[in-house]
Amino acid sequence: MPILEIITIGTELLLGEIQDTNSTYIARTLRDYGIDIYRITTIGDNPGRISATIKEALSRADIIITTGGLGPTVDDPTRQAIADAADRELVFLQTLWEQILKRFTAYGSKPTENNRRQAYIPQDAIPIHNPVGTAPCFIVEIGNACIVSLPGVPSEMKIVLHESIIPYLQRKFDLKSQIIKATVLHAASIGESSIDEIIGDLEQYANPTVGLLAHPGQVDIRVTAKASSETEALELSKPVVGELHNRLGDHIYGQDKETLESVVSEQINKHHLKLGLVEYGLEGTLIDRVLSALPEHFQGEILAEEPADLRSFEEEIKSKCNEMACDVILGTALIVNETVTLHYVYQDRQSQESTTQTYGGPQDHAPLWAQNTGLDFLRRRLFSYRENKKTGES
């Protein structure tokens, strides 16, 4: 499969003045044609650095796609940089200049002299028509590799990519449309390094691939398969997903769009329970999160005063359970001093469980960590509640 590198050009990208969405779109689009994306690089409007980056990419990649720097001003250096990288001269194409003139006429305006710069492209480059903008695009072929230069304006880039570049790449590299299907498993109450110890051998697979992405209080395990159809991709992923479930057990709480709050909500509704939630130190974020998934059979309360200790918090939650007339209640108290401490208490009609954890990560991540940790604690207690109820009924 051909290898792609994407180079986005513009000092405004480096300064954070605008966000690069072009590389994400190109990568997501071309991966479905079996193209492997190895690197994405952002370079400022410096012709020397752009040229050096392109030369380096040519030593590794079959396809280099650049975006940006095709405007008419002095700080639009992409044409010259690509010409330098390919060791070619810039040449003026009358046909491109006529296209530019026609575009300005359609806009009801006249081009300035510097717009002529846009009609210069590297010698022997393939000109590519831009049907929605004034900046012509081009392709420079160097041996079996190619440099594709696209506009930086996202709407223009997308149209040229689909109308001209993808058909060109399909012909040149005999590409067949492929599907890349990702299945994401969500795990909680276990860290990324612990998961890696358990499934490290699976992370060595080539197709499907297995990767980890850590969040505060949660880890995503992504299984990505490449195939000619979605059905085939899912079949490739199926045994790996099954093995992940076998190894990680009830640490996995959901898949793809499932969230901790949606899993909790499903169990509450399934067993016709009323859930209470009492929180401190989270500014109502956990209540809002649960409320979005469970608009009925739910009552929340924010405590005004910090619990003195876990024991006093346990007594308060037990009392709140009666006041709210809840079947089950979760209390969470996030206390941030020199250390970040989380008390959480589960209470139902028959039993109470509680624990305290400390968090060693960045303090601004602590609220999300507390939400995920508390919801997973509740999820596990609800499973025990169901099992205990079944035992009692039998």
Q: Are residues 385 and 288 in the same domain?
A: yes
Q: Are residues 12 and 108 in the same domain?
A: yes
Q: What is the pLDDT along the chain (394 residues), one digit of tens a residue?
A: 799 999 999 999 999 999 999 999 999 899 878 788 999 999 999 999 999 999 999 999 999 999 998 877 777 789 999 999 999 999 988 888 887 787 777 767 777 777 787 888 899 999 998 888 777 899 999 999 999 999 999 999 999 999 999 999 999 998 876 778 889 999 999 999 999 999 999 999 989 999 999 999 999 999 999 888 889 999 999 999 999 999 999 999 999 999 999 999 999 998 899 999 999 999 999 999 999 999 888 999 999 999 999 999 999 999 999 999 999 999 999 999 889 999 999 999 889 999 999 998 888 999 999 999 999 999 999 987 655 555 445 4
Domain boundary among 239, 255, 271: 255
Q: Which residue has the tokens 């954890």?
A: 357
Q: Are residues 10 and 157 in the same domain?
A: yes
Q: Are residues 138 and 122 in the same domain?
A: yes
- CATH code for the domain in which residue 226 is found: 3.30.70.2860
Q: Are residues 91 and 183 in the same domain?
A: no
Q: Are residues 57 and 203 in the same domain?
A: no
State residue 26 phi and psi, 5-degree precision.
-60, -45
Q: Are residues 16 and 158 in the same domain?
A: yes
- CATH code for the domain in which residue 152 is found: 3.40.980.10
Domain boundary among 173, 205, 221: 173
Q: Are residues 154 and 186 in the same domain?
A: no
Q: Are residues 235 and 103 in the same domain?
A: no
Q: Are residues 140 and 51 in the same domain?
A: yes
Q: Are residues 148 and 194 in the same domain?
A: no
Q: Are residues 245 and 305 in the same domain?
A: no
Supply the DSSP string of 330-387, one letter for each residue: EEEEEEESSSEEEEEEEEESS-EEEEEEEE-S-GGGHHHHHHHHHHHHHHHHHHHHHH
Distance CA(63)–CA(58), nearest Å, equals: 8
Q: How many CB atoms lie within 10 A of CB 88?
A: 16
Domain boundary among 173, 198, 218: 173
**Tally of domains in the chain:** 3
- CATH code for the domain in which residue 389 is found: 3.90.950.20
Range of the domain at 116: 3-173
